[in-house]
A and B are shown apart, each in its own frame.
Chain A
Amino acid sequence: MTDQTTIKIDFLSKRKIATIFSFILILVSLASLATQGLKKGIDFTGGTLVEMSFSAPADLSELRQVLTTAGFHGAVVQHFGSSQEVLIRLLPDGALNTAALSNKMQAAINAEYSQPGVLRRAEFVGPQVGEELTEDGGLALLYAMICILIYVTVRFEYRFALGSVAALAHDVIITLGFFSIFQFEFDLTVLAALLAVIGYSLNDTIVVFDRVRENFRKLRKGSPSEVVNISLNQTLSRTIMTSLTTLLVLFALFVFGGEIIHDFALALIVGVLIGTYSSIYVASPITLALGISKADLMVVTVDQEELDKIP
């Protein structure tokens, strides 16, 4: 019974290419985040958002005209989902910045525009609330990373923890970079998706680590990098299967979930793809590079066997 027979792909031989690839992605992401930043939704910037639907396709330039005449300067008007639906966005602007704004906007459109519209959605976020949401969002990401670092250190070993958190940071930066490069809107739901990505990517990483730990104990011979490679191969079909089922439902959500959930689904799709890649090419190589070896994992053997007894 030799597990070596299951080796199909020598993942780690390509780790140099992968490292370069990851670095390029991260650099591009960071560069984009630094220069053009994220297109933040009103959840974070504060402002007013009104979604209206019309019975016939709406003429955006006429609508813009109507809004400008009514004194709403700098309103962003765009179709949302279909040509009958229109999304109007207004950034906070001094004295104009109140919840009454959305009503005034509606009234102006219904009075001046060629066809009456029905209100689908109105949102107003005061600038102070926007600031708090930004702050809370950043803190949530940070705390999630710290908690996971602690959990993985306790259950595995600190090198595994560092490897998995590095993979998470990698996923978060690249997903954020994706949203920055393509200027997709970043709102609260996308932030939630980002945290779900952390959970998912970690899920993947843990499964690989679990196998690495098991193999370190089981396999008598083989260098650490060989053991990791065997483990990656053994978990490969699981990694692919789970990613596929998750991507299946995410595409269902992306296509059928409606416009509001669109960016959320997109963030998750990007995140799951990156997360799957990173659990193979970021987490394990970093753990290896930090010098994990058989001896490091023998200490926790008792603990592990106790846990295995629980059905």
Chain B
Amino acid sequence: MMNHFPAWKNVALAVSLMLALVYALPNIYGEDPSVQVSPLRGAVVNTLLLTDIKETLKNADIPLKASEQTEHLLLRFSNTEQQLKAADILRAKLAKNFVVALNLAPATPEWLRSFNASPMYLGLDLRGGVHFLLEVDMQAAEKQAIDRYATDIRQYLREEKLRYLGVVAEEGKVLIKFRKQVIHDAALEQLSRQFRSWEFKTDPSTPTKPTIIAAMSADERKDVRKYALQQNIITLKNRVNELGVAEPVIQQQGDNRIVVELPGVQDTARAKEILGATATLEYHMVDVEHSVSDAIAGRVPLGSKLYNNREGGQILLKKQVIVTGSEIVDASSGIESDSGSAMVSVSLDGPGGKKMSKTTRENIGQPMAVVFIENRTDTNLVDGKPVRVKTIVEEVINVATIRGHFSNRFQTTGLDNTAEARDLALLLRAGALAAPIDIVEERTVGPSLGQDNIDKGFNSVMIGFVLVLIFMAVYYKTFGLFADIALATNLIFIVAILSLLQATLTLPGIAGIVLTVGMAVDANVLIFERIKEELKNGNSPQASIHAGYEKAFSTIADANVTTLIAAIILFGFGTGPIKGFAITLSIGILTSMFTAIVGTRALVNASYGNRQLTTLKI
């Protein structure tokens, strides 16, 4: 039998088309303006909160369209006005423990969601938002580390009574000068044992003044860089929470860069200010003589101040600062060897150590608190004029009891788990010695442009599509219609796969789809031209169809593979939007091969297969 598909092939085609339809379908439902409530540390989202919110919204006369509860709460509204009003009310009510963010939630119906189907993920150029590329100043991070070690070495030598002439931090190394060779030898041996992550060796160029050169080992340098990056990511995460962004992306890129993507953020000036804030921290004694409830009621004792803690409560601290972040030289998390519980070890510089020593001697058994402080400059519009306001956000991140007298090295123990210890250490370091970061790339798309881009992209896909449909139908008649059906199916497949992969659709991505629409018919053109040729050579219609598909196949494969090569290289080298183009182009090439070869063949077989033909409309 010529030109006949076995039943299973037709069924498989129909099933794959059905699947594609299901996964492409969510894209036609649009989006609901909604408010997303996500818990900050400690807080939880539960039915109680939902009932409470529902009550509040009811009192404010804002109708809630629907709500969903997952790890965060999603409240859907019928229009943007209600959404904005609700967000304002909820922000005032919940700001302390929750992030209240505006969001556009896909209005995918329940039955589709049960298939895990969701619409395509739109890139920032389509939905509006900010993309930042931040670079951590690694030289500064290394310099900080070297300074820190210079302080430590000085301290150690003093403690061990090894008299030195000078300890100088220089470009990438620390020089330790001695008067006597004997001390030099002893110091070299002891330092190597004490500071294992460093490499110590004698400077051969100064035989009269015995000198040790200390340098970071390669591993240590890697660690310093890794820490600087992680620490910045943690602080950025904390700050982005304040911005109230529904789906922020904070990601490491390469070994010294961080990508921050904030969809839907309109006030980019504020975003930049918050991201660029500087942080510090302070150690305070807890005021245990006075009651917190009295202070909350307004009777704050002289010399004390109320602070918020991370759990949402308040705590009364003495105003006097014991040490500040600038006196912290290092903080790292670890496991306590005796109890096996998580801990953070902190080291202070000389002056800080002295102050800490004095305080702890007098206050054994008393609780001490760490306050994290973020300084930032906001620009607010007052009467239409920008006014710069300095904002300070203070928060108690840890309270611990002083168990004994200590000076510049101590441990905070009794932390719940290692994750908490790691976070505390990172925050301590962030408040102490955050390596500076710079914005090296910014791409902001305003919301109006985003919508414009979607409209224009959609229009050009549709117009291009219709033009090609007409062209093919006119030129190839019945076979042209087959190609048109294949092309429409191809579009559905592309949308379905993009939705399924949740790949980011960008404006260049749409351009990629448009281009695929133009190029997808190429396979059909190749096949149809081949069929025409076979007919011209005097072959029967059935044989011509068969030969046309057969002979065109390897040409189509070769031609598409080479285009795929270009698309893959584009993906490998491209950034952001360009990647989007490469993705849609690649998907389009693959799906077009399927629809143009297998899809049209099924249609041709169904129409012409197993029949006596004298002519073909092609």
- Determine if A196 is an interface residue (Cβ-Cβ < 8 Å): yes
Q: Which of B315-323, B365-373, B440-448 contacts A (4 or more CB under 8 A)?
A: B440-448
From 246 to 279 in chain A, residues with beta carbon under 8 angstroms from any chain B beta carbon are 246-250, 252-253, 255-258, 260-261, 264-265, 268
Interface string of A102-138 (1 = CB under 8 A from B): 1100110001000000111111111011000100110
Residue from A98, A121, A126 in contact with B449 in the complex, judged by beta carbons closer than 8 Å: A121
A144 close to B569 (CB less than 8 A): yes
> Are A257 and B446 in contact, CB atoms less than 8 angstroms apart?
no
The interface size bin for chain A is 35 or more
Decide if A140 is an interface residue (CB 8 Å cutoff). yes
Which A203-253 residues have a C-beta within 8 angstroms of B? 203-204, 206-207, 210-211, 214, 234-235, 237-238, 241-242, 244-250, 252-253
Contact of B562 among A124, A151, A308 (CB under 8 A): A151
Contact of B272 with A100 in the complex, beta carbons under 8 Å: yes
| Interface set, chain A 138-191, CB cutoff 8 A to B | 139-140, 143-144, 147-148, 151-152, 155, 188-189, 191
Tell me whether chain B's interface is mostly helix, strand or loop, or mixed. Answer: helix
Q: Is the CB of B566 within 8 A of A125?
A: no
Q: Are B444 and A121 in contact (CB under 8 A)?
A: yes
Q: Does A286 contact B (CB under 8 A)?
A: no
**Are B457 and A257 touching (Cβ within 8 A)?**
yes
Query: Which segment, of B234-242, B243-251, B521-529, faces chain A?
Result: B521-529
Question: B386 to chain A: which residues have CB within 8 Å?
Answer: 107, 111
Report the bound CA distance from A121 to B447 in whole Å: 9
- Closest B residue to A128 by CB, please name it: B440
- Is B555 among interface residues, defined by CB-CB distance under 8 A? yes
Within 8 Å by CB of A253, from B133, B446, B460, lies B460
Taking a contact as CB atoms under 8 Å apart, the answer to whether B444 and A206 are in contact is no
B141 within 8 A of A: no
Min CB gap B580→A, angstroms: 9
A140 and B572 within 8 A (CB) = yes
CB-CB under 8 A from A195, the residues of chain B are 566-567, 569-570
Question: Which of B50-58, B302-310, B463-471, B493-501 participates in binding chain A?
Answer: B463-471
Q: How far is the CA of A70 from the CA of B364 in the complex (A)?
A: 59
> Could you tell me the distance between the alpha carbons of A192 and B578 in the complex, rounded to whole angstroms?
6
- Interface stretch among B23-31, B286-294, B426-434, B511-519? B511-519
Let me know if A264 and B272 touch, CB within 8 A: no
B453 at the interface (CB under 8 A from A): yes
Q: How far is the CB of B475 from chain A (nearest CB, A)?
A: 7
Bound state CA distance, A253 and B135, in angstroms? 36
Q: Closest residue to A50 on the B side, CB-wise?
A: B444
B268, CB-defined interface residue at 8 Å: yes
Quick check: is A304 within 8 A (CB to CB) of the other chain?
Answer: yes
> CB < 8 Å: which of A107, A242, A250 contacts B515?
A250
Contact with A along B560-601 (1 / 0, CB 8 A): 111111110110111101100110010000000000000000
Assess whether A238 is in contact with B529, with CB atoms less than 8 Å apart: yes
A119 to B447, CA, bound (A): 9
A31 near B: Cβ within 8 Å?
no
Instruction: Write the nearest CB–CB distance from B516 to chain A, whole angstroms.
Output: 9
Residue of A200, A211, A241, A310 with highest tally of chain B CB at under 10 A: A241
Residue of B nearest to A241 (CB): B525
Interface contact B574-A252, CB-CB below 8 Å: no
Given A125-B441, A140-B574, A242-B525, verify A250-B272 contact (CB < 8 Å): no
B578/A144 in contact, CB under 8 A: no
Residues in B neighbouring A295, C-beta threshold 8 A: none
Residues of A within 8 A of B554 (CB): 210, 304, 307-308
| A1 close to B (CB within 8 Å) | yes
B206 CB → nearest A CB, Å = 38
- Per the bound structure, the CA–CA distance linking A261 and B563 in Å amounts to 21
Q: Which of B457, B464, B526, B561 contacts A249 (CB 8 A)?
A: B464
| B508 in contact with A311 (CB, 8 Å) | no
Contact status B538-A99, CB under 8 Å: no
Does A37 sit at the interface, judged by CB under 8 A?
no
In the complex, what residue of chain A is closest to B567 when comparing beta carbons? Answer: A199
Q: Are A246 and B269 in contact (CB under 8 A)?
A: no
User: In the complex where A99-B439, A155-B558 touch, is A245 in contact with B468 (Cβ < 8 A)?
Assistant: yes
If A189-B578, A192-B581, A253-B511 touch, whether A207 touches B570 (CB-CB below 8 Å) is no
Interface status of A53 (Cβ within 8 A of chain B):
yes
Over the window 518-560 of chain B, the binary record of Cβ atoms lying under 8 Å from chain A Cβ atoms (1 yes, 0 no) is: 1101100110010001001110000000000111011101111
* Interface membership of A280, Cβ < 8 A: no
- 17 A-B pairs within 8 Å (CB atoms) are namely A99-B439, A102-B442, A103-B268, A123-B443, A124-B441, A136-B573, A151-B562, A189-B577, A199-B562, A200-B519, A207-B526, A214-B551, A246-B519, A246-B522, A253-B464, A261-B460, A307-B557
Q: Which residues of B contact A (CB under 8 A)?
A: 125, 132-133, 135, 268-269, 272, 379, 385-386, 438-446, 448-449, 452-453, 456-457, 459-460, 463-465, 467-468, 471-472, 475, 507-508, 511, 514-515, 517-519, 521-522, 525-526, 529, 533, 536-538, 549-551, 553-555, 557-567, 569-570, 572-575, 577-578, 581-582, 585
Contacts from A to B (Cβ < 8 Å): 1, 6, 51, 53, 98-100, 102-103, 106-107, 111, 118-126, 128-129, 133, 136-137, 139-140, 143-144, 147-148, 151-152, 155, 188-189, 191-192, 195-196, 198-200, 202-204, 206-207, 210-211, 214, 234-235, 237-238, 241-242, 244-250, 252-253, 255-258, 260-261, 264-265, 268, 304, 307-308, 310-311
3 tightest A-B CB contacts, nearest first:
A249-B464, A199-B566, A249-B518
